[in-house]
Amino acid sequence: MSVQPQSTEEAARVAAIIEEMKSLEGPLLPILHGVQEEFGYVPGSVMPQIAEALNISRAEVHGVASFYHDFRKAPAGRHVIKLCQAEACQSVGSDDIAARLTHLLGIGLHETAADGSVTFEPVYCLGLCACAPAALVDGEPIGRLDADAVDEIVAEVRS
């Protein structure tokens, strides 16, 4: 995958984030979170700038950004469905929910629909285990997901 060269404007926005966070202990994660907050994802083009500022290798920045599921490599869709894939939700059928969402949305986990309408992501425990299987739809928690609830969610993100 080719990485777009960094624009001056992007570099300035990233420099401000680095400046704000670099004195923290373990600044890499807060900087990556700051970048995602600013741009909605972590562009590959920011990695060299962060690496240089923290005096670490690009591979290290890339490794951390890839390791954590929270960091997106591309902009999200207009709606974001985060389906819990942790144990309590798995034990009551989150795999079936994932399969239904994949079927109806036409995209798998970690993917965004070609029309930019929706991004489908896994998340690992939302603290809603008592209402499993659970998801966040545009930040709103939804518990006790079943086929009907999935159909409603899909209709909403497609409207």
**Comparing C-alpha atoms, which of 39, 30, 93 is closest to residue 65?**
30
Cis peptide before 5 (omega within 30 of 0): no
Q: Which is nearer to ligand FES, 9 or 140 (CB)?
A: 140
The residue count for binding ligand FES (CB under 6 A) is 11
**Interface segment toward ligand FES; rule CB under 6 A; list 1-9, 10-18, 48-56, 127-135:** 127-135
Does 126 participate in binding ligand FES (rule CB under 6 A)? yes
Q: Which of 153, 72, 156, 75 is nearest to 113 (CA)?
A: 75
Q: Look up residue 130 and give its two tokens.
A: 């008592």
Q: Are 135 and 81 in contact (CB under 8 A)?
A: yes
- Near ligand FES by CB under 6 A, which window of 47-55, 64-72, 120-128, 150-158? 120-128
Interface with ligand FES (CB under 6 A), residue from 128, 142, 145, 157 = 128
The encoded tokens of residue 7 equal: 């624009």
CA 85 to chain centre: 14
Select the span of 13-21, 23-31, 70-78, 125-133 touching ligand FES (CB under 6 A): 125-133
134 in contact with ligand FES (CB under 6 A): yes
H-only helix segments in 8-92: 8-21, 28-39, 47-54, 58-67, 87-90
d(CA 146, CA 111) in angstroms, rounded, equals 22
Stretch that binds ligand FES, among 36-44, 62-70, 98-106, 124-132 (CB under 6 A): 124-132
Query: Is residue 92 near ligand FES by the rule CB under 6 A?
Result: no
Nearer to ligand FES, 18 or 153 (CB): 153
Contact residues for ligand FES (CB under 6 A)? 84, 86-89, 125-126, 128-129, 132, 134
